[in-house]
Copies of this chain bind each other. A is one copy, B any other.
Amino acid sequence: MFAKNFSSLKSSITSFDLKFTSLFNQRQVDKLQKCHEQSCCNFSLSQRHLQTSEELIMEEYGEPQLVVKKRSVELPSLKPGEILVRVLASPINPSDINTIQGMYAVKPDLPCILGNEAVAEVIQVESPSGSLEVGNWVIPSYNAWGTWRSHAIAESSDFIKLPSGMDRAAAATLAVNPTTAYRMLRDFVDLKPGDTIIQNAANSAVGRNVIQLCSHYGYKSINVVRDRPTIAELKKELTDLGADVVVTERELRTDRKIRQMDKPALALNCVSGKSATELLRHVQDGGVLVTYGGMARQPVTVPVGSLIFNDVRLRGYWQTRWNLNPDNQSARQEMLNDLCELFKQGKLTPPPYKFVHFSDYQTALKDAMPAEGQVGAKQILVFD
């Protein structure tokens, strides 16, 4: 199933005019194929079943509460070189919801096990053992692994080992949001302590990581959020995380403190539509707007004068693409080490979250859907 999902991922990406072939290296393809043959569905009944895996799957695209189903699968005994992991926690991210709805760039072949992000614990290792040992905490090394399940059999190299001593929620939500914040602050503009960045959706999981990383690196952050009845509370919450300025979209145009600050060289856009255009008004000449989301379901609209006369630059960021590039693998390990260290030091904290037992997945899916354009606490599935 993985290999099938994977080829579909590639073909759906191609249908989005993406050429990923060079990014998906053959080693990964082979590994996925093997993983599929060994550990997923059609194993022989004569094999000894050591472990039942509870899985959340979909057989058709549609609204999450209608199409996500639960199933139990008996896992076979380990073959040489394999490991058995139990999933400790796996979040429901916006991209998971969009994937289920069939509205994401990645469209897995169906049926498939859902979920892209998780932290798992190695509970059994079959020699010859790889680099992993029983007790290690790991995260999947590639996207679309199918993390909403209690157990899985795989190879060591399908996982990246985390340092010990991590908080479970932090580890479960490490691979998508903090990494996106980290790379966007590093890879587009050469920021120095004292420099300013601006972002919208500042209270999102990525937005909160951006605030905390800016505070750690000594960058000033201007944080735009939507107005709401509890705005004072939210402003305090983000300021406590390290935000220099928190403003509503309306306040952004008139805030006196912002006018006295240097114009940002970097703008991070998760909303698009009018909100992105508003960010562009604040970016300094030659500055970069990086788009990583389209919450407003509107395109990014750029005044011609901003491009020609102000020399603003527009880029996009997608963690999945970055992860798939073989050239980035050592930087990836370094990034994960850095981020884990910051979590352990308390300089990064997970976003507001709620652990939900996977048997309550219907409630978790409902609570993970945006209500009036706003998402509440991150729903994290747990399996024990």
Interface residues of A (CB under 8 A from B): 13, 16-19, 105, 263, 272, 277, 281, 284-285, 291-294, 299-318, 321
Contact A316 B321 (CB under 8 A): no
Contact A306 B316 (CB under 8 A): yes
Partner of A304, one of B284, B291, B305, B315: B291
Contact B318 A309 (CB under 8 A): yes
Contact B294 A300 (CB under 8 A): no
Chain B residues closer than 8 Å to A310, beta-carbon distance: 16-18, 316
Contact A19-B284, Cβ < 8 Å, known A311-B321, A321-B311: yes
Interface centre among A19, A310, A312 (most CB of B within 10 A): A310
CA distance A263 to B19 in the complex (A): 11
Contact A16 B291 (CB under 8 A): no
Partner of A318, one of B302, B311, B316: B311
Offer 23 A-B interface pairs, CB within 8 angstroms, sorted by A: A13-B309, A16-B310, A17-B281, A17-B285, A18-B310, A19-B284, A105-B305, A272-B304, A277-B299, A291-B307, A293-B308, A294-B305, A294-B308, A299-B302, A300-B307, A302-B314, A304-B316, A308-B316, A309-B316, A310-B316, A311-B318, A313-B313, A313-B315
Chain B residues closer than 8 Å to A18, beta-carbon distance: 285, 309-310
* Least distance between A236 CB and chain B CB atoms (Å): 31
Chain B residues closer than 8 Å to A277, beta-carbon distance: 299
For the complex with contacts A17-B263, A291-B307, A299-B304, 5 further pairs of A-B residues with Cβ separation under 8 Å are A299-B301, A300-B302, A307-B316, A308-B318, A313-B314
